[in-house]
């Protein structure tokens, strides 16, 4: 812990106070100060934590997330932030390369994360949920007031004590908002940060990833690149790759979804699918792909869908044909020769 906490453990009294409408102003002042100090190196600056939620009781400490290109590169941001008056307090290379600086008055915490870090998405999602859900806001307030009555050796222990409720709230939010559609055997839902191991089960398999742009992926690849990319697509397009979950046992059998792509200079929407090896030949890929096709046409309002397939990928060609797609043309995608299969809304009732 001494390697993480610069200056060692501090025993501080936990004080939870009613929401202060001046907290957003305090955030804005420090956001402007940080923006001047870092310039374009600050990719985004967000107000997070309890003080960012109107009506929520909180410790009177403003939490700010600053996104940089690489938070492990301290030389790129520490000196200007120190010059602006902030002091390094936390260095966590094993947890998202997180750094935390604070004011000498201990009333502002500045959290530094790398671009694409999944923790940023989680923090913003929790903030936005509490802003819109009064019941969970009350539950969270009650817990914090109860915990503040206890004696804590360090503020980090207090923070960890809130984890179970935070995770429960986010789990309920995920369940309520993540299901895209259902079929007789499958549930298609959005991926979330807890899906690293299921994703590694097939995206880490060289045979499964034989026809892919990336090849087999590591745990770090999934945590820092693939999952954040999925979440960005959900936010930007309302579409993306979705988890394919078997109803019979709750196992994530693979992924299938609709992603915007550029093909021959045109914006297209592609259905892509990838299953665990032990699910090959079971018909699940076809069932999931047909569900995505129907969702794209009936829910997303798309007029046509494509699949981008290498000519040697016979299994994927069969799935495309079973959901009513036909070969439209040959093309090149990221320098790889591919076949473009397509289907229009008009043929979905017969496929």
The CATH number linked to 194 is: 3.40.630.30
Is there a domain that residue 301 lies in? yes
> Cα-flanking dihedrals φ and ψ of residue 116, to 5°?
85, 0
Is there a domain that residue 39 lies in? yes
147 and 245 co-located in one domain: no
Domain count, the chain: 2
153 and 193 co-located in one domain: no
pLDDT tens, residue by residue, 116-171: 777 887 788 888 888 988 888 888 888 888 888 887 666 666 677 777 667 666 65
Is there a domain that residue 14 lies in? no
Helix (H, G, I), strand (E, B) or coil at 168: helix
Q: Which of 310, 307, 319, 316 has its CA nearest to residue 343?
A: 307
Is there a domain that residue 10 lies in? no
CA-CA distance, 245 to 56, in Å (whole number)?
A: 36
The stretch 332-344 carries a mean pLDDT of 96
Instruction: Identify the pLDDT of residue 141.
Output: 87
Give percent above pLDDT 70 in the chain. Answer: 91
109 and 186 co-located in one domain: no
Q: Are 62 and 107 in contact (CB under 8 A)?
A: yes
Single out the residue in 161, 196, 219 at which a domain terminates.
161
Tell me how far apart the 2 most distant CA atoms of the chain are, in Å: 69
195 and 156 co-located in one domain: no
Instruction: Identify the pLDDT of residue 164.
Output: 65
For Cα atoms 130, 22, 104, give the angle at the middle one, nearest 5 degrees: 100
pTM metric for this prediction: 0.53
Name all contacts of 7-14 with Cβ < 8 Å and 24+ positions apart: 7/89, 9/153, 9/154, 10/154, 10/155, 11/152, 11/153, 11/154, 12/106, 12/154, 12/155, 14/59, 14/147, 14/148, 14/150, 14/152, 14/155, 14/158
152 and 183 co-located in one domain: no
Helix (H, G, I), strand (E, B) or coil at 73: coil
pLDDT tens, residue by residue, 77-127: 999 999 999 999 999 988 889 999 999 999 999 999 988 777 887 788 888
Is there a domain that residue 13 lies in? no
Burial of residue 21, with CB atoms counted within 10 A of its CB: 0-12 exposed, 13-18 middle, 19 or more buried? exposed
209 and 274 co-located in one domain: yes
155 and 88 co-located in one domain: yes
CATH number at residue 68: 3.30.460.10
- Residue 175 predicted with pLDDT over 60: no
149 and 27 co-located in one domain: yes
Is there a domain that residue 166 lies in? no
Is there a domain that residue 169 lies in? no
Report H helices in 133-195. Answer: 134-148, 155-161, 163-178
The stretch 200-216 carries a mean pLDDT of 95
Single out the residue in 97, 130, 161 at which a domain terminates.
161
CA-CA distance, 43 to 65, in Å (whole number)?
A: 10
Q: Are 102 and 108 in contact (CB under 8 A)?
A: yes
196 and 324 co-located in one domain: yes
Confidence of residue 6 (pLDDT cuts 50, 70, 90): confident
Instruction: Identify the pLDDT of residue 349.
Output: 46
115 and 182 co-located in one domain: no
98 and 225 co-located in one domain: no
The stretch 229-252 carries a mean pLDDT of 88
Instruction: Identify the pLDDT of residue 124.
Output: 85
Q: Which of 109, 113, 123 has its CA nearest to residue 12?
A: 109
- Tokens, residue 166: 């935070």
- Residue 348 predicted with pLDDT over 60: no
204 and 144 co-located in one domain: no
Is there a domain that residue 237 lies in? yes
- Of 129 and 341, which is predicted with more confidence? 341
Instruction: Identify the pLDDT of residue 7.
Output: 75
CA distances from 339 to 55, 285, 290 (A): 55, 19, 19
Give me the domain span that covers residue 87.
23-161
């Amino acid at each position: 812990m001494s390697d993480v906490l610069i200056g060692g453990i501090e025993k501080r009294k936990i004080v939870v106070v009613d929401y202060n409408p001046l907290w957003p102003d305090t955030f804005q002042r420090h956001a402007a100060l940080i923006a001047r100090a870092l310039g374009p190196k600050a990719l985004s600056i967000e107000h997070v934590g309890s003080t960012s939620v109107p009506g929520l009781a909180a410790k009177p400490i403003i939490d700010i997330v600053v996104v940089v290109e690489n938070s492990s590169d301290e030389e790129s941001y520490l000196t200007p932030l120190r010059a602006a008056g902030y002091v390094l307090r936390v260095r966590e290379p094993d947890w998202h390369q997180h750094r935390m600086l604070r004011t000498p008055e201990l009333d502002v915490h500045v959290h530094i994360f790398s671009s694409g870090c999944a923790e940023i998405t989680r923090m913003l999602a929790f903030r936005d949920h509490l802003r819109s859900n009064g019941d969970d806001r009350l539950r969270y307030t009650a817990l914090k007031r109860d915990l503040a009555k206890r004696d804590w050796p360090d503020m980090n222990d207090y923070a960890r004590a809130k984890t179970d409720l935070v995770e429960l709230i986010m789990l309920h939010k995920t369940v309520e908002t993540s299901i895209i559609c259902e079929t007789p055997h499958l549930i298609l839902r959005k991926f979330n940060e807890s899906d690293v191991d299921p994703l590694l089960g097939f995206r880490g398999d060289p045979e499964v990833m034989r026809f892919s742009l990336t090849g087999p992926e590591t745990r770090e690849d999934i945590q820092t690149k693939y999952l954040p990319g999925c979440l960005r697509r959900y936010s930007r397009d309302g579409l993306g790759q979705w988890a394919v979950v078997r109803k019979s046992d709750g196992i994530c059998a693979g992924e299938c979804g609709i992603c915007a792509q550029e093909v021959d200079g045109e914006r297209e929407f592609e259905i892509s699918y990838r299953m665990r090896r032990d699910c090959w030949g079971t018909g699940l890929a076809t069932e999931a792909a047909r569900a995505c096709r129907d969702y794209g046409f009936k829910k997303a309002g798309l007029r046509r869908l494509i699949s981008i397939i290498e000519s040697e990928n016979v299994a994927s060609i069969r799935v495309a044909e079973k959901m009513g797609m036909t070969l439209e043309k040959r093309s090149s995608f990221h320098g790889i020769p591919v076949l473009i299969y397509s289907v229009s809304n008009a043929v979905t009732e017969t496929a």
